[in-house]
Structure 1
Amino acid sequence: MTTTQSSIASGMTRRGLLAGAAATAGTLALYGCSGNSGGTSGGKGTLTVAGQSDNLTQVFNPFLENTAQGLTYTSPGSGGFIYEPLVQINTVDIGHDLPWLAKSWRWSDGNKTLTLELQTGVKWTDGTAFSADDVVFTYTMLKQNAGLNLGGVAFATVTAPGPAQIVFTFDVPSEQLFTEVVSVPIVPKHIWSKVKNPTTYTDKNPVGTGPFKLSTFSAQSFLLVRNEDYWQPKAEITALRFVAYKDNQSMTNALVQGLADWGGTYIADADKTYLSRSKHNNYWAPLAGTDGIIPNLERWPLSDIAVRRAISLGVKRKQVGAATGSPPATSVTGLPMPAYTSQVSAQYKGVNFEEDTAKAEKTLTDAGYTKGGDGYYHKGGKRVEFSISFPSAYTDIASRVQVLVSQLKDIGIKLTVDTTTVNDINTITAKGNFDSTMGYPVNSAPRAFSYYYDTINPNLYYPIGKATPTYQNIERFQNAEAKALFTEYPKATTDAQRQQILDKIETIFVEELPWIPMFYWGSYGNWSTAKATGFPSPDNPYFSPVPNPVVALRLKPV
């Protein structure tokens, strides 16, 4: 769904609300900009990144939402600049994840045991040696404090047979959960074990293993400086300054004015407004996912599949996507194309969404709906009307919704706008207090099964009013066959068996249309090469272009 990061460390991200901006609604969203002179970041070797926050506070606890730490977690699956994960998940070169604090791993016991070998010679920025004890402590803390485990990381046990080895055990085959498990940010046991309540711990002066560490902090920005004793070859850039802006528009203005060097946001008419301003400016959005209307399946009228099908037939996806420069969703499986072509069932290869307004209205009339004098369809004395909830700060979402309001009116369906705040949206959708929204509060791992697991797994169903703890299946989809398939998938032992199960899940998605794909989104990266080179690009797509430590370590100052 929308870009955004799936890093468990920064809390759950809202893809749809970020569509087009590698950021989070649950955390501080990063939006960068490059200028004619490479930005105004100051000293040589220092790059500036602009972020979104209307309340920047000095909180670097990597397990809490809406914190300064959130600005350091920007790339889907990528650990931050201060606290690092065991593995960096690659959402651009799918399947080529990067060893990080763990240098290797293997599954055994029918995919119920995961063993990881750790790097040696790693130190925390206070000089203390890093070891497997830190990893065991971190995961145990998550298991004991549900309020920190926003990623829903689940395992039976975690142990350290030696100072550089970690073993996870699971009650059931769990290879499909690999990306979620290994994305957790590791914190130092010698510091965090003394914290009385980690769910409220601010961690104002974080001690990490990452390539950067905190230097100075203010209400408007903070500076991370290079970790001179980093366990990998240290970064060649010397510092990163994160600057906070209150909303999308402010960040866009900053981008156009050249007030920063690197970031990740959708830019309207980028060729004219951004790229043309300097030969150094670059803009790339590698495909990352699919987005659209996420209905509450327990509220009429979207609980009626006839209405959902009519909407899917009646919308013009190209126009919806064009509102923010996003390509229209094509495959009826909902999987982003062409990245997932190999995992599409044979019966749906090349089968795309149909757009036919006349057929959309016939779908409604065949289901017993009649058009009233107000131009909208009615049934049982009720008008076919629903609202769509999203934060008012996200102007890109607002642009898409305005297109949908007009398109749905043309087929006799009334769509109203229900704006809220960035802080409230995830709570609203988690509890089911909405008619519809755009996008998911989680960003799936770059795997087809994970994509469906997060969005339509009936095993993750919670009744209205009870918050889904991991923000998955927020539309409250229920289907007995799907419930069994999601349980069987982890038990499969071959790729062929896994694909057979996936084929059946795709069929259920196509036939039930639990949510309505509209457009594809990318991890939008913006950067200037005036001060540094080495960023990923279409010619060198080694990782996501939004600010993240993997890229930072490859940058070379000009």
Structure 2
Amino acid sequence: MMRSRAWKRVLAAACAGIVAFSVAACDGNDAAIKKAENIVNIAAISTSQLTENWNPLSPTASQGTCGALYEGLFYVNVAGGDDTMQPMLGESYKFSDDNKELTIKLKDGLKWSDGKPITSDDAVYTFNLINKTSSLNSIGWHGTVKKVDDTTFTLIFDQVATMTARAILTGVPLVPKHVFEKMDDVTTDVNKNPVTSGPFTLDEKDFTSQNYVFRANPNYHEKGQPYIDGVRYTSYAGGTATQDAIIAGEIDWASNVFQNPEKQLKNAPVDYLTMPSSAQVLVTCSNAELGCTGPQTDVAVRKAIYYGMDRAQLNKLAFYGIFYDSSSSLTPTPENEEYLSPDVPESTVPEEANVEKAKQLLEDAGYTMGSDGIYQKDGVRLSFEVPAISGWTESINGVDVAGQQLKKVGIEMKVKQVSANEMTELYSKGDFQIITENMWYSGSEPYDFYNTFYASDQTAKVGEKGTNGWARYSNKTVDDALDVINSTTDTNVKKEQYAIIQQQVYDDMPYIPMMRTATMVETSKEYTGWVTKDNVYAAPASWNTWDTGIILRQIKPVTDNK
């Protein structure tokens, strides 16, 4: 059986499109670090040369931008199951009686890293900018904003939007008006030499294509924090090189899966932690009306792939036996189990393949078996080349193993390794038939997940950049249910609407569930204050966003505690 662990809530969130981890080549061209500086080394997520984008509103912002450089108004520890709104830049908030207005008070005395005050003028500018710029509006904010005083502003929603309001409180970084209003095009400007609000800042000289360094923000609002001088993100030549660096003590914080951690990390200067994370899926370009082409636009093909996978074998051969159960509707469980409908088939995905059912689905849809053992229809074989990011061992192995399994069904699937930058371009523009990716979970209920990946306003026509709707999926039934959920606080009404969504996405299956990934996190013994099983104060993976800032401002060198 697959392993299931009842972590209360898990966040594998991403700001700006960061969805997973891997690392790339390093040629020794380092950003300068002084010997006396206490710098925490983190394995970067990129498998190719690093590119810089410090715009926290951009869907392609560089790792660490959200959380370490820029903060939101409040923080919620989803991983620890704590729904409390912890103040960050915000001090308090209040809804109007009709839930259409949200008034937010900023903390007094806030400063940007350049010493200028953070005020409600920055907040008004930020929310106006998001509202008028669709490519920056992944949060779904629509309405008006008005200044009350220097530290208070009010958001006025076009309609009741309780879930959007929550996402705004926890997921929108304020940007400095005096910097961003001078940009010619905010959607393409990478915000070099960023003026920041978070615990760290960055100087352009500290960026190279192999690594970059954040340094402590002297104007950070939490006095005395961070306790370290800075953070260096470095790219490595794939998973093996990263593991070697972890074992050698060259990396202080990483999220790299070891096949046998008890043995491999026995003498390494790190501790490790394993927990459920994002959903490993096969993303299909599913919608012919938005320009998708190929047999994967046929739901019968998608369902045949779903039933053709042997997930128990997949876990053993590709995922080291440490991945977790998923659901057919991809509802994150156990943390959102309250909202999982019992009426939707396969609340836990099948472990064993059902080859006969998969074949029957194809034959009922008019596919015939070719002489080469592969089904075809109208002269088009069911053959797919699936891009996976080079160095992401689990993803590559997952496609390889699934491909071997699907041969029994009559479907050919082969992996094609691409760089992280190439993958971003592919899924953002829909230039693929099937890719393998990770879908992150966030929030105390599944609204954010479904809104992020299934809502029509999150996608775009093939060739145009979408926000997060990689599958080019668009369904009015889902959109309407999301609107109802966003406009109510009634739990029973929400459950009814979630059941509608779950049934629809099971029926359509634009994202084909494989398994729920396991995040393995390695942390240096030279620092204290890391997340542990007994103290889950944030999501512990090094590639998370808002949680990263929480952790980096908490950790201390061991010598400071002596």
Q: How far does residue 255 in structure 1 lie from its aligned partner after superposition?
A: 2.1
The structure-2 alpha-carbon separation of the partners of 1:483 and 1:61, relative to structure 1 and needing over 3 Å to count, comes to closer
Contact 2:43 2:236 in 1 (8 A): no
Verify: 1:271 aligned to 2:262, yes or no.
Answer: yes
State how far apart, in whole Å, the 1-side matches of 2:478 and 2:129 are. Answer: 33
Matched, 1:281 2:274: no
* Alignment counterpart, residue 296 of structure 2, candidates 299, 302, 319: 302
Q: 1:359-390, CA deviations, whole angstroms, 9 ceiling, x for partnerless residues?
A: 32333334443323212223333322223223
Query: Which sections of structure 1, spanning at least 5 residues, go unmatched?
Result: 32-39, 74-78
Say which SS state the counterpart of residue 234 (structure 1) adopts. Answer: coil
Instruction: Find out whether 1:426 has 2:429 as its counterpart.
Output: no
> 1:35 maps to what in 2?
none
Match of 2:17 in 1: 12
- Inter-partner Cα distance in structure 2 for 1:192 and 1:463: 29
**Are the equivalent residues in 2 in contact too, given 1:290–1:335 (CA < 8 A)?**
no
Q: Which ranges of structure 2 fall in alignment gaps of 5 or more residues? A: 1-9, 27-32, 543-547
- AA aligned to 1:167 is T
CA separation of 1:246/1:116 partners in 2, compared to 1, >3 Å: closer, same or farther? same
Work out whether 1:517 is the aligned partner of 2:513: yes
How many angstroms does 1:101 deviate by? 0.5
Match of 2:534 in 1: 539
Q: Give the match's secondary structure for 1:224.
A: strand
Larger mean CA deviation between 336-345 and 314-323 belongs to 314-323
Indicate how the Cα distance of structure 1 residues 525 and 363 shifts in structure 2: closer, same or farther if over 3 A, else same.
same
SS of the counterpart of 1:71? coil
| Offset of residue 414 of structure 1 | 0.6
Q: Which of the residues 32, 43, 55 maps onto 1:61?
A: 55
1:413 deviation in Å? 0.7
- Identity among equivalent pairs (%): 25
- Structure 2 length normalisation: TM-score? 0.83
- SS of the equivalent of 2:296 reads coil
Does structure 2 retain, via aligned residues, the 8 Å contact 1:115–1:166?
Answer: yes
CA distance in 2, matches of 1:170, 1:522: 38
Cα distance, 1:189–1:467 mapped onto 2, change above 3 Å: closer
Partner of 2:7: none
Say which SS state the counterpart of residue 432 (structure 2) adopts: coil
TM-score, reference length from structure 1: 0.84
User: Could you tell me which residue of structure 2 aligns to residue 314 of structure 1?
Assistant: 308
SS at match of 1:482: helix
Offset of residue 202 of structure 1: 4.5
Please give the secondary structure, in 2, of the residue aligned with 1:277.
coil
Residues 41/445 of structure 1: CA separation in 2 closer, same or farther (3 Å cut) = farther
State the one-letter code of the partner of 2:533: P
- Is the 8 Å Cα contact of residues 236 and 557 (structure 1) preserved in structure 2? no
**CA distance in 2: counterparts of 1:163 and 1:546, whole angstroms:** 36
Q: Does residue 1:500 correspond to 2:489, yes or no?
A: no
1:405-424, aligned counterparts within 5 Å?
Answer: 405-424=403-422
Contact 1:262–1:528 (Cα < 8 Å) also in 2: yes
Provide the rounded CA distance (Å) in 1 between the counterparts of 2:499 and 2:527. Answer: 45
Equivalent AA in structure 1 for residue 277 of structure 2: A
**Which letter maps to 2:427?**
T
- Paired residue type of 1:282: D
Q: Does 1:122 align with 2:110?
A: yes
Question: Contact 2:442–2:449 at 8 Å: present in 1 too?
Answer: yes
Q: Does 1:241 align with 2:246?
A: no
How far apart, CA to CA, are the structure 2 residues paired with 1:455 and 1:96? 25
Checking the alignment, whether the CA contact within 8 Å between 1:247 and 1:394 is kept in structure 2 is no
Q: Separation in 1 of the partners of 2:97 and 2:529?
A: 41
Partner residue in 2 for 1:526: 522
Structure 1 partner of 2:79: 92
CA distance in 2 between partners of 1:477 and 1:196 (Å) = 33
Equivalent pair of 1:51/1:251 in contact (CA under 8 Å): no
Distance in structure 2 (CA, Å) of the matches to 1:483 and 1:228: 45
Residue 69 of structure 2 corresponds to residue 72 of structure 1: no
**TM-superposed deviation, 1:64:** 4.4
Q: Does 1:227 align with 2:217?
A: yes
Q: Deviations over 1:194-250 (max 9, x none)?
A: 444434544433322222233661524333333344321422532223142254333
Aligned length: 523
Equivalent of 2:335, from 331, 334, 339?
339
Equivalent position amino acid for 1:536 in 2 = V
In 2: Cα distance, 1:146 partner to 1:370 partner: 44
The structure-2 alpha-carbon separation of the partners of 1:110 and 1:519, relative to structure 1 and needing over 3 Å to count, comes to: farther
Amino acid of the structure 1 residue aligned with 2:281: G
| Alpha-carbon shift at residue 393 of structure 1 (Å) | 4.5
| Rounded Cα–Cα distance in structure 1 between residues aligned with 2:553 and 2:459 | 41
Aligned partners of 1:318 and 1:328 also within 8 Å:
no
Equivalent positions of 1:5-404 (< 5 A) are 5-7=13-15, 11-13=16-18, 15=19, 18=20, 21=21, 43=36, 45-53=38-46, 54-56=48-50, 60-64=54-58, 70-73=62-65, 79-94=66-81, 95-108=83-96, 110-146=98-134, 149=136, 151=138, 153-182=140-169, 183-214=171-202, 217-219=206-208, 220-235=210-225, 237-249=227-239, 250-273=241-264, 275-278=265-268, 280-297=269-286, 298=288, 299-322=293-316, 323-325=318-320, 326-348=322-344, 351-354=347-350, 355=352, 356-404=354-402
- Which of 480, 483, 488 pairs up with 2:484? 488
Task: Quote the offset at 1:92 in angstroms.
Answer: 0.6
Q: Deviations over 1:271-300 (max 9, x none)?
A: 332x3123x522224323322111122334
Closer/same/farther in 2, CA of residues 30 and 327 from structure 1, 3 Å limit? farther
- Please report how far the alpha carbon of residue 543 of structure 1 lies from its aligned counterpart in structure 2 after TM superposition: 0.6
1: CA distance, partners of 2:227 / 2:25: 19
User: Does the CA contact (< 8 Å) of 2:249 and 2:270 recur in 1?
Assistant: no
The aligned residue for residue 555 of structure 1 is 555
Q: Distance in 2 between matches of 1:465 and 1:66?
A: 17
**Structure 1 pair 150/392, CA: closer, same or farther in 2 (3 Å)?**
farther
Look up the SS of the partner of 1:276 in the other structure.
coil
Contact 2:50–2:235 under 8 Å retained in 1: no
Distance 2:478 2:140 in 1: 22
Distance verdict in 2 for CA 1:502–1:121, change over 3 Å = same
Structure 1 letter corresponding to 2:54 = F
Greater mean deviation of Cα atoms: 335-344 or 313-322: 313-322
2:304–2:362: 8 Å Cα contact kept in structure 1?
Answer: yes
Q: CA deviation at 1:161?
A: 0.6
- Give a deviation string over 1:395-415, Cα, whole Å, max 9, x none: 332121111111111221111
| Equivalent residues of 2:284, 2:434 under 8 A apart | yes
Q: Which residue is 1:37 aligned to? A: none
Contact 1:82/1:209, CA 8 A, preserved across alignment: yes
Letter in 2 for 1:496: N
Please provide the CA RMSD for this pair. 3.2
Residue 234 of structure 1 aligns to which amino acid in structure 2? G
Query: Which letter does structure 2 place at the counterpart of 1:307?
Result: V
Cα offset, 1:438, TM superposition: 1.7
Report the equivalent of 2:29. Answer: none
